[in-house]
Amino acid sequence: MSKTVSRIRRSKKLRATLQKTGGMRIAISRSLKNISAQLIDSSNGSVLATISTQQKAFSGANGGNIEAAKFVGAEIAKKSVELGHKKVTFDRSGYKYHGRVKALAEAARDGGLEF
């Protein structure tokens, strides 16, 4: 089984469980250069907010990818709190909780979100 297939299989398990409960989730996606996060209402699948390192609001953190992930985590937390959703589920999309994924999650927690 390839790395990508295993990651997708892991991500489907969490999403199936969340769809039954209908909670809010923060889903991330990452590439080699960029990372993005979306605030999704799992009951109907609508995206309420999104932030990415490709947007103009991100002018390129000089610290590298970890700093970019911290920026994305802080911004998605700010948008989520503005919309009134403090309790969310962190959907890491099958990625390991390490490096940029961990930095994004910790920045979101510091921004006021509860996982």
Residue 66 lies inside a defined structural domain of this protein? yes
The model carries a pTM of: 0.86
Residue 115 lies inside a defined structural domain of this protein? no
Confidence of residue 113 (pLDDT cuts 50, 70, 90): very high
Q: Indicate the number of domains in the chain.
A: 1
- Tell me the pLDDT tens digit for each residue of 45-60: 899 999 999 888 777 6
Q: Rounded distance, CA 95 to CA 10, Å?
A: 9
Residue 26 lies inside a defined structural domain of this protein? yes
Domain that holds residue 13: 3-110
Confidence of residue 63 (pLDDT cuts 50, 70, 90): low
Q: The CATH number of the domain where 30 resides is what?
A: 3.30.420.100
Residue 63 lies inside a defined structural domain of this protein? yes
Residue 37 lies inside a defined structural domain of this protein? yes
Residue 43 lies inside a defined structural domain of this protein? yes
Number of neighbours of residue 92 by Cβ within 10 angstroms: 20
| Class of residue 49 by CB neighbours under 10 A (exposed 0-12, middle 13-18, buried 19+) | middle
Dig out the tokens for 51 from the structure.
């932030």
Q: Rounded distance, CA 84 to CA 56, Å?
A: 25
